[in-house]
Structure 1
Amino acid sequence: MMMRHICVLFVFPMAIGFLLDTRNPQNSSHQFITASEFFAAKSGLQNGIEENRHDIDRKLMLLTSQVQQMFDSLQQQIPQQDTNRSNEIVQKYQELSENYTALQKQFDVLQANQISQLNELSQCKDKVNEHDREISALMNLKNIQPLSELSSLKTQVQSVSSEVHALSVSDRARSEDFRALYNLTLISERQTKLQFSQIETNQNASFALKDIEVHQNADGIAKLQQQINKNSARVAMTACINHSPTLSSGSVVKFNDIRKHIGISNLSSFQNSGKFTCEYEGLYLVSSWILSNTDRSLFTMYYNGQSLASAFVLYDGAAETNVGTATAIVSIELKVGDTVWVQTMSEMYVGAQGSCLTIAKLK
């Protein structure tokens, strides 16, 4: 706790008196003052005392305010220091509590280990005692005296030994007989195994030939069935144009209005590109007819980029007709993945009411 010392200055007024004598003249050599000098001195002393009093009051007020500020500062510092010390004490208490808990856990572990070691020591003591008892029993057996009938036992052992020898000779003769029979059995077993091996080899060869024939027949049947399915597949389509565009030269005519179809799965690709892609190989008939009011307009049927056939649209202007139709028909053998399409060779108008494409698989 902080201690401070406060010093307070106390000023006590002093009065000095003079002896007055009005009977003597002013020029006397005695040490006396006149009344006027006294009153003048008194007035000066009173003024000085008043000034000192005011000065002392001001200093007291200033000192009082400073003391009050010091007390206020002390009052603010003391709780803060107490709070900090309280926090430090609480923190130290928590650390001591945690350390105590950790020590308690370690003590429990050590106590459990000690109990386990005591149990093991007790078991070891039991085993040592048991071994001592066994050793004592063995020592007792060592001290047993020989039997009194040892000679009779020797006689009986000799008799038994002779009988065993006789049985051993008889067993040896029978063993020779069994050995001969065993050799005959081995020879017969070898011959039997050899015959079974030959029979198994012949059967395996026969089975292998049959498996080959079965596989060949199955492959042939599968190929034949695939060929039958391909030949019997029904593929046909008729598609027209659903609007009347004017196409520039080299444009693919897109017959996007599918009227009839069978055996074709990629219709959306045909509608978007205008190109037919073969899914089943075979002989196909392809025909296309286009209605147009563009005189002498030309279109060509293509197969994998090769020209198959072309057709001109012509009409007789003298007969006052301004529209004509041209048709191209081809038969072609297509394989899986081949493409067929119709392409304009000049700028031409394609009428929606009379422009179609038909593709049919013949066989």
Structure 2
Amino acid sequence: MLLYLMIISLIFQCVSGFLVDSTTPKYAGVITDKHYIAVIDLLMEERQARHLLEHVVTSLQQTVQSLEQKDISKHAKDISALQLQVNGLVATCSLSQNNFGVLEGKFKDLEMNYTLLKDENKKLSQDVATLKQTQSVVSMEHLKQQVQATSNKVNQLKYNNMVRNQDIIAISNITRQNQLDVKTLGHKLTQQITSIESEFREKSQNDTVVHKELTNALDLKIANLETNQTFLGIQVAAIAQKTYPVALTAWNAGGDVSIGSEIKFNEVKTSTGIRNLSAIHSTGTFTAEEDGVYMIAVTVNSGTNDSGFEIHKNNITLSQVYIQGKVGDNDQSGTSVVSTELRMGDLISVLASAGDRKQGIVHVDKGWSTLSIIKI
């Protein structure tokens, strides 16, 4: 920037001595103030266009770098192509700057030639005045030669000025084309960025929908699995209840039992699958711990005439057995086998009974009276 200001200042200092008429040149082929101002405007326009081009290229490079930080690997070819175009524009800008430097050199040469021409013209004017005074033929011939040389230099200067104007026009065209290319490239890059951002947002939305669908499907599978697991647990529990063995054989301690009272079988001989044996030891009553169908067998040996027993499920009579009649004093046994469905907590008990007697006792012999229960 400082270099351009120094060049412009130097140009103004060089041409300040000969820009007398701003509309019509004194000599043919010499640039006027309007031409010079047009040249300066073109130079300023070229510099502004170049700065604009550099700004656009820097912005495009930043945008490309920002895009490279995103997950857009599949657009790497498009980005590379755009980067090549940007690099081409940078190279074109550098070439334009070099051409501008060449044009500045030519403009300086043109200014120097014009200054020399001005000095020679001034000297020629003095010689013409002297010639008029002396009327010297030799000086006139010399003056003709100088005029011819001056005319040649003027023609050369005119040609250089024309070439300069053509170069300026070419630079202006190149600058305008560069501006057009930058705008076109910026528009294309903006479209590419918009397309990439749209695809990225669409991909993010699709990923969210797929994740939600997978999550819902997974939740549904988990719910089905939990339901199946619960059902399987129920089935296993049912199978375990059906296959879990339960068996018990217990004796009565022996002795007299009042009619209507419970014959307690509290001496457990064998047991399978009974968890609460202490309750049987204390009460002599069987309490079902598992649901299922049970087979119940009771044998009571008694030496009491007119005696018997009953098997009860909770308060319901399942079986009645009469052991012996009223005559005779020999011990006799009675056995009853029944089956029933029990739920957890149901009670199985054996009560002493008699035929006609409503009161009295039934003697139960130890070791000959048993209770056996099997879950089938």
TM-score by length of 1: 0.50
Q: Which has the larger radius of gyration?
A: 1
The structure with the largest helix share of the pair is: 2
TM-score by length of 2: 0.48
